[in-house]
Chain A
Amino acid sequence: SQELEQSPQSLIVQEGKNLTINCTSSKTLYGLYWYKQKYGEGLIFLMMLQKGGEEKSHEKITAKLDEKKQQSSLHITASQPSHAGIYLCGADRRNRDDKIIFGKGTRLHILP
């Protein structure tokens, strides 16, 4: 079955620094989603990538999907305390309609 591996599991960065979170799939991704979760709350949709080589940005967060559609990276530029939380990647599971599988998440802490 398709699985998503996220790395790193946990990340601590100084405010103002850049950082990257990776999401790797064992199979080709048909749709890749990035979500953010503030501690103890629900998930907030960030962006969706579908095409190989696609890149999207939202404020200081940029996500890319590689050409082979098996790896995505989420990059945050000049991190701020508001970026702290858990970032999850999710992917379409095409053999079971309309469901998304998730990575285990990356816990991001921002040091002031």
Chain B
Amino acid sequence: DVKVTQSSRYLVKRTGEKVFLECVQDMDHENMFWYRQDPGLGLRLIYFSYDVKMKEKGDIPEGYSVSREKKERFSLILESASTNQTSMYLCASSATTEAFFGQGTRLTVV
């Protein structure tokens, strides 16, 4: 079975902190994605990556950056966390178009 693992289930960070969300997949997938999920807004794509060191902006990249130094790992970085970045963050990986998701990280910025 494909496994997508996010490093934390719950995180509480202070405004202005630099925050790293880590995601690791074990199926050698080229494509990896970061989404955030908010009530009433559903899932929105932040960034995605087709290959190592490749990244593309999604629909809401502002305030975020990403890093993909190794194929299996895709990191989401909040350079300076703000309260409006409080959300559920979901990582996904795919070989074709079917995506496999991690369990999610619930981030609260106080």
Among B98, B100, B106, max chain A CB count under 10 A is at B98
Whether A43 touches B90, Cβ cut-off 8 Å, given contacts A99-B33, A100-B97, A100-B99, is yes
Which residues of chain A have C-beta atoms less than 8 A from B98's C-beta? 33, 45, 48
Bound Cα distance A24, B73 (Å): 34
A112 contacts the other chain (CB 8 A): no
Closest to A1 in B: B59
Docked-complex contact B48 and A40, CB < 8 angstroms: no
Closest Cβ–Cβ distance, residue B104 to chain A (whole Å): 5
Q: Which residues of A pack against B, CB within 8 Å?
A: 31, 33, 35, 40-45, 48, 88, 90, 92, 98-105
Q: Which residues of B pack against A, CB within 8 Å?
A: 4, 6, 31, 33, 40-43, 45, 48, 50, 58, 88, 90, 92, 94, 96-104, 106
